[in-house]
Structure 1
C-alpha cells in the first residue's frame, strides 16, 4: 500500500496525505488525468467511481459519481483552479446533486495534488484545505479519511496495468450511465496538433474519411459558440453519401469542445458530443463522451461498427501528423 502518512492540522484547517510509488512521476500523473484510470481507484472498493467528465486544465471540470452496493449514487465534482503539467493541480472539491450541479449544502474543499520525483520513484502529496473547523470535522465524520485510505490501496494495481492504457492501443468504447459511451484513444501528436486537425477543413479532409474507399467532401466549421457545423462524405466514385450537422455548444481551445450531432435528413433528438484532449505519455489522450437520446439509440449506433471507422480515421490522423 503506497500510503505513508495522514496528518491533520486543526490550526491550518488542513489534512495532508503522503503516498510513495515505485513508478516514474509521468506514470503516476497519467493515472490521475486519464478518466479510465482514475475511476478505477478514486472511489473505495465498495463505492467504485465513474467519471463522466474529466478536463484537467485550468478552468476545466470533472464530474463523477460513486455507486454503492445497493445501486445508490453519490456525486462529486472538481473545479480546476490551476494545472502545472506533470507537477501539480489544484481543485475545488465538492459534492454534486442528482442533476450534476454543485451541492452548496455541503462544504467545498480546496485540494492540491503535488507530484514529486524520489529516489525510488515518485511521491504524491495531497493537501486538503477546509473552509472551517466545522467543515473539517464534518467531512472526517462522513468518512473522508477512511475512504481516502481505501481508495489509495487500489492505485498500485492500476499503475501496474500498463497494457490496458498503452499508447498503441486502438479505439476503445466504454458504456457509462444509461445512454452514454466514452470513446478513448491516445493519438501520437501534441494537444495543439490534434485540436488543429479537428478544426482546419483541409486538414480534416486528409484523415477524417472513415472506412477506406470514402472521402470527406464537406467540412464546414461553426464560426463560434452557437453556430452550426456540417460534415459530409461520399464514396470515392461519388456514389452514396451521408453527413452530420449540429451546433457548437462549448469551445475551450485546445482542450475541450461540446457539440450536438444529428445525421442529415434523419428526424429525432440529436446526440451530445463532449471532446476532451489531454497530454499523456506517448501523445494526446482523446476522450469523446457521447450522450444519446436513448439507450436503444446508443446500441444501434455502436452496432454499425462506429469504433472501427473511428480507428481507421485516427490511424490515418497519426500518419498525417507524423
Structure 2
C-alpha cells in the first residue's frame, strides 16, 4: 500500500507540517498507544532492525518524555520532549527535540485524536521555529518514517483491540 493512501501530509504555513491518518480503532486505544510506555515500545520502533529500548513517559503537564532508538549496527537516535497540554483521549501537546538536530530545532507537536464512529483520525501538527527547520524536517524523510510507524501502530491496534 502506498503512503499516499494512508497518510495525508500538508504544509498549511511556512512553519507547519500536518500529517493525518485514520485508524480502525477507538479513540481511547489510540491515545493509550501514545501514552503508555509498554505500548509505545511495541510500535514506535523505527526502521527494520531498530528497537526502542528507552521509552520514559511522565504524562503530566510539565512532565517529560524520552525515547532512544537502537539500530542493528549499534547506532542510536534520541528524542526528548515536555508535555504542554494533556486532554485525555483528545489532545497531547508537547515540545520535541532530537539529540542530533538534523536541522529541525525544537518543535511544538500537537496530537489530536478525533473520534469518527468506531475509528480515530489522528492529526499530528508540527510547528517549527523557522521555514528552514520545517524544510529540513521534510528533507529527512520524516513523513515516510511516520508512515512506517503508523503501519506498525495499525498492527498493534489490531492485536490489542
Fold-level match, TM-score > 0.5? yes
Q: CA deviation at 1:224?
A: 1.4
Q: CA deviation at 1:172?
A: 2.1
Q: CA deviation at 1:222?
A: 2.2
Residue ranges of structure 2 left out of the alignment (5+ in a row):
none
C-alpha change, 1:249 and 1:207, in structure 2 (3 Å) is: same
* Structure 2 residue aligned with 1:173: 9
C-alpha separation in 1, matches of 2:8 and 2:140: 15
* Structure 1 residue aligned with 2:142: 306
The reply on whether 1:284 has 2:117 as its aligned counterpart is no
* Structure 1 residue aligned with 2:132: 296
The reply on whether 1:275 has 2:111 as its aligned counterpart is yes
Residue ranges of structure 1 left out of the alignment (5+ in a row):
1-167
Q: Is the 8 A contact 2:26 2:118 kept in 1?
A: no
**Partner residue of 1:220 out of 49, 56, 66:** 56
The reply on whether 1:198 has 2:34 as its aligned counterpart is yes
* Structure 2 residue aligned with 1:75: none
Instruction: Encode CA deviations 1:227-266: one digit per residue, 9 max, x unaligned.
Output: 11111101135x1111110110000001001000111254
* Structure 2 residue aligned with 1:242: 77
SS at match of 2:5: coil
* Structure 2 residue aligned with 1:138: none
Q: Is the 8 A contact 1:169 1:186 kept in 2?
A: no
C-alpha separation in 2, matches of 1:249 and 1:293: 17
- State the TM-score, normalized to the length of structure 1: 0.45
* Structure 1 residue aligned with 2:65: 229
Q: Is the 8 A contact 1:186 1:282 kept in 2?
A: no
C-alpha change, 1:317 and 1:268, in structure 2 (3 Å) is: closer
Flag the structure with larger Rg. 1
Q: Is the 8 A contact 1:215 1:233 kept in 2?
A: yes
Q: Is the 8 A contact 1:172 1:307 kept in 2?
A: no
Instruction: Encode CA deviations 1:284-311: one digit per residue, 9 max, x unaligned.
Output: 1000110011111111111111111111
Stretches of 4+ aligned residues off by more than 2 angstroms? 265-269
Q: Which has the higher contact order (CA 8 A, sep 6+)?
A: 2
The size of the alignment, in residue pairs, is 154
- State the TM-score, normalized to the length of structure 2: 0.88
